[in-house]
Amino acid sequence: MRILQVSNRIPYPLNEGGTIGIYNYTRGFSEAGCEVVLMALAPQKHPIEPEVLQRELGPFCELHTFPINTDVKPIPALLNLFSNRSYNVDRFYSTSFEQALISLLSERTFDVIQIEGTFPALYTSTILAHRKSARVILRQHNVEFQIWERLARNATNPLKKWYLSLLAKRLKAFEIKHLNQYDALVPVTPDDGELFQKMGCTIPVFPSPAGIDTERWHPAKEARLQHIFHIGSLEWMPNLEAVEWFIHEIWPSVHVQHPELHFHVAGKAMPESLKSISIPGVHMIGEVESAPDFIADKAITVVPLKSGSGIRLKILEAMSAGKIVISTTIGAQGIRYTSDSDILLADTPEQFMEVFNRLLSNQELQQKLMQNGRKLIEEEYSNQSVIKRLLDFYAAL
């Protein structure tokens, strides 16, 4: 099968969920015997040496990258307020990228064109006009507008609440406009698929989660129960919101009752406001070179998301590595878990406190969570099984 992936980011380095998700599909398609071409925008704020890209991605795809400045610019952002367009999406438009797409599609024939999320969906009309016989798929990593709706709901500043609500409204209009232009929609969770159908989606919907490399993410013998961690890109607003909430509203009580615990936070783009925090038991690490190495000696991860959509790859990776996961309901959405068997849930500071008290006093529960989480990944979320199911669906199309 000849597959063209169209992405608004280069899937490397593997330091955030969206990037890892795209990379695992690219690699998985290639390892399944597909011929893969990846067309990717290359935001200038994350430069990567060409030789690094060739080494890490070259074995799995024919890679074409196009530099673009996606930074928020004050004047265009201000002027956008007087239009009805989504500034979140418009930042990813590139004339050179569009022309390269036209040229590639004119010269080559593909079986499947997989558009990686809402932002490269900006090029949908161009792709449809030049696709020949290819089936065009929108792979939705999130229900994007839902993230911003939840951020707006949690905002306390009235002006910020208004602006986030406006961004959410325009993203929703963009997502609805494009829903039925494809041959199929591939959301990462059944919940997202049902929401898109409620929004008016009538094309085939095939939920397909991000796959996990179970060899990279494997249980480590040196994990210690007193070490808790959170890892995730702090450029993503829901992660930043979650970390700040946990540190300020939940951790103080946890630390008083369990002073032996230590909370380690890692992730790229950590703001100075977090780096400079001085709270007993809290360790702000910042970006780490190897996520598996960072979590190896830690036994518990917390995912205290109050906003967000899609599926949390960091939860799946932690489960694959045999870690105990404590998450909010929003953080765990889309995962086929059994509460208190695969994962522990808490949505308020009081519930987090109760979960920690119960977990730390129950070795049987600790072992059950570690073993069941790994088993769930092996059965449902390994990259090989995810890719096989998706390619079977594409073949049927």
Q: Does domain 2-211+382-396 have CATH number 3.40.50.2000?
A: yes
Report the alpha-carbon distance of residue 318 to residue 373 in Å, rounded.
8
What are the E-state strand segments in the chain? Answer: 2-7, 35-43, 62-68, 112-116, 135-140, 184-187, 224-231, 262-266, 282-286, 298-303, 324-327, 344-345
- pLDDT in the model for residue 39: 98
pLDDT digits (tens, 9 = 90+) for 243-274: 999 999 999 999 999 999 999 999 999 999 99
- pLDDT in the model for residue 71: 84
Report the alpha-carbon distance of residue 397 to residue 395 in Å, rounded.
5
pLDDT digits (tens, 9 = 90+) for 195-237: 999 999 999 999 999 899 999 999 988 889 999 999 999 988 9
Report the alpha-carbon distance of residue 212 to residue 217 in Å, rounded.
8
- The answer to whether the CB of 194 falls within 8 A of the CB of 268 is no
Is the pLDDT at 308 greater than 80, yes or no?
no
Amino acid at 277: I
pLDDT digits (tens, 9 = 90+) for 167-189: 999 999 999 998 999 999 999 98
Report the alpha-carbon distance of residue 67 to residue 8 in Å, rounded.
10
Residue 46: pLDDT band with limits 50, 70, 90: confident
Query: The dihedral of CA 29, 308, 94, 46: what is its sign?
Result: negative
Boundaries of CATH 3.40.50.2000 in the chain? 2-211+382-396, 224-381
The two tokens of residue 5 are: 């992936």
Residue 71 burial (CB < 10 Å; 0-12/13-18/19+)? exposed
Measured CA to CA in angstroms, residue 392 lies from 14, 83, 154, 208, 385 at distances of 27, 42, 41, 12, 11
Q: What's the rounded mean pLDDT across residues 159-164? A: 91
Q: What is the CATH architecture of 224-381?
A: 3-Layer(aba) Sandwich (3.40)
- pLDDT in the model for residue 220: 86
Amino acid at 66: F
